[in-house]
């Protein structure tokens, strides 16, 4: 960190890392004031895909908002289903049978795996490698087949219902899961560890780039792999246990290096943990009904404000729900993890080279419709 450089206004030019850019993976625009290759000031501009989820929540009933939740973060859609369904169950006091909780955890972890696989492909694509994307997509298609077998859709699942699930899972889903985990475990050392993690070019591009330490995460409210890459062991599944997670033993990977390499390793390690959870859940899968005995036709939670948080693939997805006895929520605030994760990009990218700033943006794992809601 040398002495701050004084720059003159006419020596910098403004570059639009605009809405349509391969590295932003969606319609995020970053207004970069550049001094040659260096970024003097980075200012993300949002709102290019603002789809009024919170307005729709207020105008419809509780059930009508269910299809909206997967369309916010379509890569980890089931976590959002899970968050919203848990919020309403907590407010209306609906019990969920044991088997439904287990299946929810299995499908959410499968979805986290497919989200991390897509992040892995897109992130290495940002850094210039195309082949790992095809390997990652090959595995991801296997997950999509499994989830399609149960939920019916490939991306925007609307599988959870208040008090249970839409339908039960069959045996070939269970055997399919086991085969998939065995296959991914066999491919992990060759196609992912040796090909990419061991690659010196990738390491050189990520080590000591984009230092986001625990204090910056606390100031900006960044959660998820960004926070765990800063050496803080915080995961909603462990810190505020919910659903059937307390029954499984899995650990939270966190790395103290605080740079893009640490965030990369956190997500690679999280894939392992998700597989462990799925295996334990499949072994201990209880029998029994999948839906609660009595679920009121019209959901009427008593008035007041409720807060529910879930560990989505990108961080803490929180729902602040205010009910006043109407047919739908009076106000539904969706706390999206990447909204806070991206708010620290302005401070991280200052003085960085443009190529490194793109590597950091890839390591933040952004999904833009989740930021704009």
Nearest to 151 by CA among 172, 170, 167: 167
Q: Is 207 in the site for another protein (CB under 8 A)?
A: no
Q: Is 229 in the site for another protein (CB under 8 A)?
A: no
DSSP, residue by residue, 290-356: SB-S---SS--PPSEEEEEEEEETTEEEEEEEEE-SSSS-SEEEEE-HHHHHHHTHHHHSTT-BHHH
Distances from the Cα of 135 to the Cα of 117, 118, 132, angstroms: 9, 10, 5
Query: Contacting another protein (CB under 8 A), which of 25, 161, 263, 267?
Result: 25
Minimum separation from the CB atom of position 271 to another protein (A)? 18
Residues in contact with 75: Cβ distance below 8 Å, sequence separation at least 6, in sequence order: 114, 115, 118, 119, 313, 367
Q: Which two tokens stand for residue 353?
A: 């080279």
Q: Is 133 in the site for another protein (CB under 8 A)?
A: yes
Residues 257 and 226: their CA atoms lie apart, in Å, by 11
Minimum separation from the CB atom of position 26 to another protein (A)? 7
Q: Is 276 in the site for another protein (CB under 8 A)?
A: no
Residues in contact with 152: Cβ distance below 8 Å, sequence separation at least 6, in sequence order: 159
Q: Applying CB under 8 A, which part among 133-141, 197-205, 244-252, 278-286 lies near another protein?
A: 133-141
Nearest to 227 by CA among 250, 252, 247: 252
Q: Is 137 in the site for another protein (CB under 8 A)?
A: yes
Is 73:79 a contact under the CB 8 Å cutoff?
yes
Query: Contacting another protein (CB under 8 A), which of 160, 340, 359, 366?
Result: 340
**Total binding residues toward another protein, as defined by CB under 8 A:** 101
Query: Contacting another protein (CB under 8 A), which of 129, 221, 290, 295?
Result: 221
Q: Is 262 in the site for another protein (CB under 8 A)?
A: no
Q: Applying CB under 8 A, which part among 101-109, 184-192, 262-270, 340-348 lies near another protein?
A: 340-348
Nearest to 358 by CA among 349, 367, 350: 349
Nearer to another protein, 27 or 265 (CB): 27
* Residues 151-190: x where in contact with another protein by CB under 8 A, - otherwise, as a string: ---xxx----------------------------------
Minimum separation from the CB atom of position 50 to another protein (A)? 4
Is 330:58 a contact under the CB 8 Å cutoff?
yes
Q: Is 354 in the site for another protein (CB under 8 A)?
A: no
Query: Contacting another protein (CB under 8 A), which of 120, 234, 250, 264?
Result: 234
Query: Contacting another protein (CB under 8 A), which of 61, 98, 141, 285?
Result: 141
Nearer to another protein, 15 or 182 (CB): 15
Query: Contacting another protein (CB under 8 A), which of 256, 289, 304, 326?
Result: 304
Minimum separation from the CB atom of position 196 to another protein (A)? 17
Q: How many CA atoms lie within 13 A of 18 on its CB side?
A: 4
Nearer to another protein, 279 or 317 (CB): 317
Contacts 24+ apart (CB under 8 A), 351-356: 351/38, 351/39, 351/40, 352/38, 352/39, 352/209, 352/210, 353/37, 353/38, 353/39, 354/15, 354/32, 354/34, 354/37, 354/38, 354/39, 355/37, 356/205, 356/209, 356/210
Q: Applying CB under 8 A, which part among 98-106, 188-196, 261-269, 350-358 lies near another protein?
A: 350-358
Nearer to another protein, 175 or 239 (CB): 239
Minimum separation from the CB atom of position 285 to another protein (A)? 25
Strands 29-35 and 331-335: unpaired
Q: Which two tokens stand for residue 194?
A: 């040796």
Q: Is 335 in the site for another protein (CB under 8 A)?
A: yes
Q: Which two tokens stand for residue 54?
A: 């919170």
Is 244:105 a contact under the CB 8 Å cutoff?
yes
Q: Applying CB under 8 A, which part among 42-50, 161-169, 250-258, 285-293 lies near another protein?
A: 42-50
* Residue ranges in 88-107 that form contacts with another protein under rule CB under 8 A: 90
């Amino acid at each position: 960190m040398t002495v701050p450089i004084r720059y003159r206004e006419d020596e910098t030019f403004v570059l639009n890392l605009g809405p349509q850019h391969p590295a932003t993976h969606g319609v995020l625009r970053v207004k970069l004031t550049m001094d040659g290759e260096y970024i003097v000031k980075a200012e993300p501009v949002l709102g290019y895909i603002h789809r009024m989820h919170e307005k729709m929540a207020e105008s419809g009933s509780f059930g009508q908002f269910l299809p909206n939740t997967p369309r916010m973060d379509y890569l980890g859609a089931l976590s959002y289903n899970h968050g919203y369904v848990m919020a309403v169950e907590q407010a209306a006091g609906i019990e969920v049978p044991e088997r439904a909780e287990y299946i929810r955890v299995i499908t959410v972890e499968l979805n986290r795996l497919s989200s991390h696989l897509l992040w892995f492909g897109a992130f290495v694509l940002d850094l210039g490698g195309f082949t790992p994307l095809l390997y990652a997509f090959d595995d991801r298609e296997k997950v999509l087949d499994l989830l399609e077998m149960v939920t019916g859709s490939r991306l925007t699942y609307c599988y959870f219902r208040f008090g249970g699930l839409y339908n039960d899972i069959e045996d070939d889903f269970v055997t399919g899961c086991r085969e998939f985990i065995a296959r991914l475990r066999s491919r992990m050392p060759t196609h992912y560890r040796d090909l990419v993690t061991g690659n010196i070019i990738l390491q050189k591009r990520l080590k000591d780039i984009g230092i986001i330490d625990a204090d910056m995460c606390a100031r900006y409210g960044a959660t998820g792999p960004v926070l765990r890459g800063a050496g803080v062991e915080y995961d909603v599944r462990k810190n505020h246990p919910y659903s059937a997670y307390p029954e499984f033993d899995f650990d939270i990977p966190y790395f103290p290096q605080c740079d893009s390499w640490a965030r990369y390793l956190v997500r690679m390690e999280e894939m392992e943990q998700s597989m462990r959870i799925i295996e334990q859940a499949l072994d201990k899968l209880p029998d029994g009904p999948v839906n609660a005995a009595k679920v009121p036709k019209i959901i009427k939670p008593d008035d007041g404000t409720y807060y529910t948080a879930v560990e989505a693939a990108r961080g803490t997805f929180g729902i602040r729900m205010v009910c006043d006895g109407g047919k739908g929520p009076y106000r539904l605030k969706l706390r999206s993890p990447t909204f806070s994760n991206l708010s620290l990009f302005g401070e991280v990218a200052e003085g960085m080279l443009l190529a490194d700033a793109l590597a950091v943006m890839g390591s933040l794992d952004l999904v833009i419709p989740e930021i704009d809601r």
